[in-house]
Amino acid sequence: MARAQGTPELPDAAADLTEAPEAVAELPPGVVAQSLGDYARAWWLRIKAGESGVLPVIVALVIIAVVFQSISGGLYLTPGNIVNLFQQSAVFMILAMAEGFALILGEIDLSIGYVGAVGAAITVQLVQPGGTYKWPWWAAIAGGLLFCTIFGAIQGTLITRLRLPSFIVTLAGFLIANGLMLIVLLLAFSGFPSLSGTDTDRVTIYNLMWGSIDPTVSIIAAAVIVVLLGGWLWVSDARRRSSGLVAPPASLSAIKIALIAVAAAVVVAICNQNRAVIGINEGVPWVIPIVLGVFAAWTVLLTRTRYGRYVYAIGGNPEAARRAGVNLARVRTIAFALCAFTAGIGMLLFASYLGGMSNNVNGGSQVLYAVAAAVIGGTSLFGGRGKPLHGVLGGLVIGAIYNGMYLQSLDVKYQFIVTGLVLLAAVTIDSVSRRGSTSGSVARI
């Protein structure tokens, strides 16, 4: 038994080197900055590192605006067209925010276009006059959204309890919902139930997209929102600064508030122009506060509640979430239900935009635009990263392209190609920046 007598081979060398100072880990810019100058430098570093946040989207929007403005001979940036662009983008924005729930978890939901369309078809059918089941507009909307939520919850249950891949389950859901939509459309008012009518219920649903708020009320409401939001931002940042917590400098808080105020003023000013060819059509369209409401609600849910925190934790590291006692199946199932519910709102707006439902509604291209918008806005396809804001900005990009192409009377085929190229660029940025950060962290360990 001589082998135990010799000195065992031990990693002695490591012990002596431990005196070396801890290598300073690469800092994420921004979190340690104290002044506005530091912030600007940190921001620039982050852009160079590929962690550019929403900047590329803003740049893309400016480029799109300049290009279409020049080739359309000045028609693109008219008040009438900009409001139209907002209305078209609203559907993409809400569908992209819906898809965000699945994407942050690292899953995907392919069914939302048709599931939302079934919900919208149910709502439109329920407000048809003369049918045996004429419901008031609010009940009809609730019914449509309830269907979507249940459909999403069933898909979520299959995905989490039976551990089926979300891609396949929602692909099946896509087909099933497509069939259901055709069935619903063949009920009471076959084929093309319309929203054109003078009864309150149909008018209300039609006005979700086409109605406008009185210009004076628009100004007052926007001012109140800016004051409340700005005040809250200022007070909470100031409180964090004074108690020594991580907070942006006062100048940056002021810039943020100023930007919100300017954005609100510009939007209201544009919408308050008379955009009708004949007669008067002015004021902020209802669809803008609807989108902002969904955006605000989901931003609060994802960033300020336990549920939202768990969604991100599962997207980042499901095992960590499981060990922390998070009920993964429940969080995931609810996320799929919320995804379908939000899609129901988006497709309801689409029905309102079309002035009714028809069997030509293509839920397939809607879902592709939704995924594209979320990813273009900055949501990662790999899970763990994404915000409702990404859906809003990405939806605006898709809407801007869609609107510009339409204005040029360019064929739909070019629109597909351009949107596809933009999506490809966005996914490339997402993938490359992720690879960069992963290799970086491996190198630092």
Residues that bind another protein (CB under 8 A): 1-5, 7-8, 10-12, 14-15, 17-28, 31-32, 239-240, 243, 245-246, 300, 304-306, 309, 312-313, 315-317, 319-321, 323-326, 384-385, 437, 441, 444-445
Is the CB of 1 or the CB of 278 nearer to another protein?
1
For residue 409 the two structure tokens come to 């009377």
- Whole-number minimum distance, CB 236 to another protein, in Å? 9
For the four alpha carbons of 29, 250, 300 and 220, in that order, the dihedral sign comes to negative
CB atoms within 10 A of CB 72: 15
Residue type present at position 40: A
- Whole-number minimum distance, CB 381 to another protein, in Å? 14
- Whole-number minimum distance, CB 285 to another protein, in Å? 31
Report the distance separating Cα 132 and Cα 129, nearest Å.
8
Is the CB of 85 or the CB of 389 nearer to another protein?
389
Is the CB of 70 or the CB of 305 nearer to another protein?
305
As a whole number of Å, the CA-based R_g of the chain is: 25
Report the distance separating Cα 215 and Cα 241, nearest Å.
38
For the four alpha carbons of 434, 156, 180 and 348, in that order, the dihedral sign comes to negative
Residue type present at position 330: R
At how many degrees (to 10) do helices 363-377 and 112-126 cross?
A: 120
Report the distance separating Cα 296 and Cα 187, nearest Å.
36
Is the CB of 82 or the CB of 104 nearer to another protein?
104
Q: What three-state secondary structure class fits 356?
A: strand
Is the CB of 276 or the CB of 432 nearer to another protein?
432
Question: For residue 112, which of 299, 347, 293, 358 has the smallest C-alpha distance?
Answer: 347
Number of H helices, E strands in the chain: 17, 0
Do the Cβ atoms of 75 and 81 come closer than 8 Å? yes
Report the distance separating Cα 440 and Cα 155, nearest Å.
37
Query: 313 vs 129, 235, 385, CA distance in Å?
Result: 48, 28, 10
- Whole-number minimum distance, CB 18 to another protein, in Å? 4
Is the CB of 134 or the CB of 241 nearer to another protein?
241
Residue type present at position 108: I
Buried b / exposed e over 170-201, threshold 16 CB at 10 Å, is: beebbebbbebbeebbeeebeeebbbeeeeeb
- Whole-number minimum distance, CB 47 to another protein, in Å? 16
- Whole-number minimum distance, CB 312 to another protein, in Å? 6
Is the CB of 5 or the CB of 360 nearer to another protein?
5
DSSP label at residue 186 = T
Is the CB of 32 or the CB of 62 nearer to another protein?
32
Is the CB of 130 or the CB of 325 nearer to another protein?
325
- Whole-number minimum distance, CB 34 to another protein, in Å? 11
Beta bridge partners of 352: none
Report the distance separating Cα 351 and Cα 307, nearest Å.
31
Do the Cβ atoms of 208 and 352 come closer than 8 Å? yes
Is the CB of 26 or the CB of 199 nearer to another protein?
26
Is the CB of 190 or the CB of 319 nearer to another protein?
319
